[in-house]
Structure 1
Amino acid sequence: MPTTVSDLTLPSATSAAITTTAMPMTTTTKPMPNGKLMQSQNEQQQSTELNDKSVRNGLKESEEQQFIIKYRQKYYDIRRFLHNHPGGINTLRGLNNSDMTTRFLHAPPHSDAAMYLMKEYEIKPTQLQNDTKRRHRLHQSVDDEQIAVDNEQEQVFAESNEKGIELLGDNLHEEDKNNNQLDESMEHLVDWSNAMLPQISHITRHYDEWVHKPVDRPLRLFGPTYLEMLTKTPWWVIPLFWIPVISKCLWDEFSPIWNTASLNELLFMTAFFAAGILLWSFLEYVLHRFVFHMKVNANTHPLLCSFHFMIHGLHHKVPFDSMRLVFPPLPGVVIASILYAPLSVLLPQPRIVLAGALSGYLCYDLMHYYLHYGNPSLQHTRFMYNMKRYHYQHHFAHQDMGYGISSPLWDVVFNTRIHLRKLRYTLRWR
């Protein structure tokens, strides 16, 4: 059976290699006895079949590398967005090579940030046309029987399957009840091919609006490589660095009195450790709300604007950058040292409180990474499941609410809590 590919399945970067492999083999057969000639022809036929099978496998791999959808009259490849979709990957199943317009209009309204992010995956019309021509040439090399295709086969009729998905080619007759329109791009304000931090001071007037319009692309913060590397931190560096620090603080305080202290004294010191964790949760809220989300306008000093982008703005601009989801240890040490100074004067057990605060910070940073890249289950990890939804709402819909990462406690206290909508289905991100 010939392999059939939808009109919207574009070949990947491996297409050229696949086409080369699929070229018919031309050999010159010298006169030989009938038996040997038949054997040579069989070998050539087997070789051709292997090539055809290889090409079809290559086509299948090419298709799996793309996830093409149509919204209104534009086409998008959202393959790299699937696992980052705030609404879960299961809400996108069955949409590959389909028109999602009707389903999108019946869904809850998407935020402006979500609509802006959608522009990142748009396929340009010229790219779609050129790749379609290459795809047809590729299929001609796979099977000569598919040289001619009827016009009726090329036209895709509007149909609905059991999930209510409309196939490509559907003409939209419904009014856009959600009133979602793609915002005009603001990315002309900066040059993404150069270091971003030196450019921020020049866009102060538009910075607050620009930084809250997310994109999915690589971001270089500094020009020099040695500085750029300091801004990228794998998640496992955080426990590797901070667990020994926390253990040392606790060991220095508990080990001298472990055999001599009474139970009340040990409970008292444990209470200081718990107080440190609570202190961090409060600092997490205050820093996130008043420092990381400080108001930046046209009158803000350019250096302050650049500082904001460096410590948190870049995370909202490129929320899917896995190397910038946790706080680098070096600036973390500086902040911890600054916070420890008043604790050493005001509290009787400052090192234990510091150990508790650092433990809270460690949980916060690792949890932040998991909320972006994990797949919490409603049945087994309900708290993490709700916090993932909560944090995504903060990113893409309510940037001025939901400042708690490890807990919504202080959002409840200070009335900045995001109320999650009750869903009729369970979200999954893997």
Structure 2
Amino acid sequence: MDTPQGSEAEFIVKYRQEYYDLSKFMHKHPGGINTLKGLNQADMTARFMKAPPHSDAAMYLMKEYKVKPEDSRVPKTKARHQGRRVDNGQDSQEQEQEQQPREPEDKNNNQLDESMEHLVDWSKAMLPQIANITTCYDEWVHKPVDRPLRLFGPWYLEMLTKTPWWLVPTFWIPVIMWCAWEDIYSSWQDKSQLAVFIAYFLFGVLLWTFLEYTLHRWVFHIKLESNSGPWICTFHFMIHGLHHKVPFDPMRLVFPPLPGAFLAMLIYTPLSYFLIQPRIVLSGALAGYLCYDMMHYYLHYGNPSFRHIVHMKRYHYQHHFTHQDLGYGISSPLWDVVFKTRIHLRKLKYQLRWS
């Protein structure tokens, strides 16, 4: 029986004479859980080769679920021949090696990359180690893994880097209400001001979508070279690189509120001198940010049924695993269209689901 989301039952598949336990990956699979239907305890090689090509990043991630040959989860195959008596009267314990079936040509070039994880020690804090791999950092950080990551050594610093999703609305909704309350009250007293409030609030939301795109494209995805210094690589890993390296870490999918508040003030302070009704614009921008962060978490761990959200989930996964230099919009592809960085997804014959 196929494994549902959250189940601890094993889901063992065979690919190119190797075995993989996908039980913890099924609900994370970018192609949906239903595309894996019927593969439990089966050889998926033929279906895998007929599928659309998998990216190098996806193939690299696959190694995370590989099961060692001596593992008890690997199905045991019976030898084709038992021991036999030879001319000298002694029992031969030799068994003929099982012939491997000839695999069809793999036109998608689905090969498992050589691992680069020997470059770092995953049992130690990762941030101090980035300075040691600057020459190959950009390649390494875009090869995803599914394992725990410790960013800092001291527990009190590490604690600040992990944020449960519910903490974001708990922190930001009161802040948004505080920013907008005076103007909401004025609009309630004077209905002629209501349209003004709505207009500036929506402008703030639109402004956030632009900031989301520009930050994601030109800050979070700053162009890194083999000669990039240790400081720039470390900075990149801390603000965004770690998310591409461990994209399924549920505690690092939303931005911590305190650094977020600092960045909000850093951006808002100079803009407030040029904006009309800056507090309303700020409340709209923060509301846009809140929707973005919640949507980002849902795109990674949700099971959407609404067509647009399904599209955005596929869109974001394409950014992670195939087109890291495209698809910077998360809450909306608007600015990807404007700046011609849109990812064009192929049409599906069926609805994907993740649970």
- Same fold per superposition (TM over 0.5): yes
Q: Take 2:18 and 2:297, find their aligned partners in 1: how far apart are those partners?
A: 33
Match of 1:429 in 2: 354
Contact 1:216-1:320 within 8 A present in 2 as well: yes
Task: Summarize the Cα distance change of 1:304–1:64 in structure 2 as closer, same or farther, 3 Å threshold.
Answer: closer
Shift of 1:314: 0.3
Three-state SS of the structure 1 residue aligned to 2:35 is helix
Match of 1:397 in 2: 322
Q: Which amino acid aligns with 2:34?
A: N
TM-score (norm 2): 0.90
Q: Take 2:223 and 2:196, find their aligned partners in 1: how far apart are those partners?
A: 41
Which aligned pairs between 1:31-430 and structure 2 lie closer than 5 A?
65-127=9-71, 171-256=101-186, 258-259=188-189, 261-263=190-192, 265-377=193-305, 381-430=306-355
- Post-superposition Cα deviations, 1:78-103, rounded to whole Å, max 9, x if no partner, equal 11000000000001011011100000
Shift of 1:220: 0.3
Q: Take 1:333 and 1:104, find their aligned partners in 2: how far apart are those partners?
A: 45
Shift of 1:170: 7.1
Q: Take 2:244 and 2:223, find their aligned partners in 1: how far apart are those partners?
A: 14
Q: Which amino acid aligns with 1:287?
A: L
Q: Take 2:66 and 2:319, find their aligned partners in 1: how far apart are those partners?
A: 25
Q: Take 1:362 and 1:153, find their aligned partners in 2: how far apart are those partners?
A: 64
Shift of 1:153: 12
Q: Take 2:103 and 2:53, find their aligned partners in 1: how far apart are those partners?
A: 18
Shift of 1:178: 1.1
Three-state SS of the structure 1 residue aligned to 2:200 is helix
- Larger Cα-atom Rg: 1
Contact 1:213-1:317 within 8 A present in 2 as well: yes
Query: How many residues are aligned here?
Result: 334
Three-state SS of the structure 2 residue aligned to 1:177 is coil
Higher helix share: 1
Q: Take 2:27 and 2:249, find their aligned partners in 1: how far apart are those partners?
A: 13
Q: Which has the higher contact order (CA 8 A, sep 6+)?
A: 2
Task: Summarize the Cα distance change of 1:382–1:347 in structure 2 as closer, same or farther, 3 Å threshold.
Answer: same
Contact 2:138-2:224 within 8 A present in 1 as well: yes
Match of 2:87 in 1: none
- Post-superposition Cα deviations, 1:25-84, rounded to whole Å, max 9, x if no partner, equal xxxxxxxxxxxxxxxxxxxxxxxxxxxxxxxxxxxxxx9621111101111111100000
Task: Summarize the Cα distance change of 1:369–1:257 in structure 2 as closer, same or farther, 3 Å threshold.
Answer: closer
Q: Which amino acid aligns with 2:339?
A: F
Contact 1:72-1:172 within 8 A present in 2 as well: no
Shift of 1:151: 6.0
Contact 1:69-1:100 within 8 A present in 2 as well: yes
Q: Which amino acid aligns with 2:30?
A: P
Task: Summarize the Cα distance change of 1:414–1:125 in structure 2 as closer, same or farther, 3 Å threshold.
Answer: same
TM-score (norm 1): 0.74
Gaps of 5+ in 2: 1-6, 83-98
Q: Which amino acid aligns with 2:55?
A: S
Three-state SS of the structure 2 residue aligned to 1:200 is helix
| Cα RMSD for the two superposed structures | 2.1
Q: Take 2:78 and 2:354, find their aligned partners in 1: how far apart are those partners?
A: 40
